[in-house]
Amino acid sequence: MKRVCGFQLVVLIFLAVNFGMAPCGWAQDKDGSLPDAPSPAARSGESGTKSSAGREATWRSLPRDFLHDQKDIWLFPTQLARGRHWIPTLALVGGTAGLIVADPHIMPYFREHGDNLDDLNDTFDAYIATAEVVAVPAALLAAGYIRHDAYQVSTAILAGEAYADSAVVNLAVKAITRRERPSDVPSGGDFHNTFFNGGESPLHGSSFPSGHATGAFSVATVVAARYRKHRWVPWAVYGMATAISLSRITSSAHFPSDVFLGSALGYAIARYQVLRTR
């Protein structure tokens, strides 16, 4: 029954979006071409959101948008070559490098005290956590179609786009670094020299960065930005993403640096690529 708590957060997010504090939260778009033509007039109480929450998305535009995202993501080094985005990039690299150095000294604590955090680990088990993250855009999509809310449908599509974009980057980095997971280190073993020492599969045998953290923060960032005027939505989605991410450390599935980089990638890709106005 403890695992139900994670899905209670999903329900809380769903209720906060659909029954939020904004009095016009029930505004609906009756446009018959709902999935492909979100009406600018129907924003479910999100007036003024378009400029800060990015753009609208449709099923028709999704393949093109995804390819556009991937092109920009992998060409990001050209932006650095032009002198752009150096401060956040250095902060991300520096933070990750610092945690990599600290990882061998931090993980023994969680290895020894992991049993004290069984409630958190059970609530956000790997498969359960994945289902919880996917359930957020899935619930928004279903509710959007039921309520004829084009803005909500678009939000769900953007969340799925962000999840897919971040997953590609995550798997590529995993395949290159092949970092051994903390749980694969024998009891009393050394947590140093874990890079290029993991399994062949980036899905299960590679730890760096955390895929759960990447996916959770990519979805959370989209939903939080699109429904920031609903008081509890950002708190709920970022709270769930943070809990999922921390559970990956407490369960010895990932090192702190894995989670830090995964969270940052998910946030950055969603906020500065997927939600960017086009």
Which residues in the chain show pLDDT less than 50?
A: 1-4, 21-52
Of 267, 266, 273, nearest to 65 by C-alpha is: 273
Q: What is the pLDDT of residue 5?
A: 54
What pLDDT is stored for residue 186 in this prediction?
87
* Token code pair at residue 234: 């950002």
State the pLDDT at residue 231: 83
Q: Enter the pTM of the model.
A: 0.83
Quick one: pLDDT at residue 187? 81
Half-sphere exposure of 180 (CA within 13 A, CB side): 17
**Which pLDDT score is estimated for 37?**
41
Residues 245/129, Cβ–Cβ less than 8 Å: no
* Phi, then psi, of 231 in degrees rounded to 5: -50, -45
Q: Are the C-beta atoms of 28 and 41 separated by less than 8 Å?
A: no
Distance CA(78)–CA(65), nearest Å, equals 20
Structure tokens at 176: 């290159």
* pLDDT at position 16: 58
How high is the pLDDT of residue 134? 94
Residue-wise pLDDT for 62-109, tens only, equals 999 999 999 999 999 999 999 999 999 999 999 999 999 999 999 998
Q: Look at residue 171 in the predicted model and tell me its pLDDT.
A: 94
What pLDDT, on the 0 to 100 scale, is given for residue 112? 80
Residue in 205, 208, 5, 202 with CA at minimum distance from that of residue 118: 5
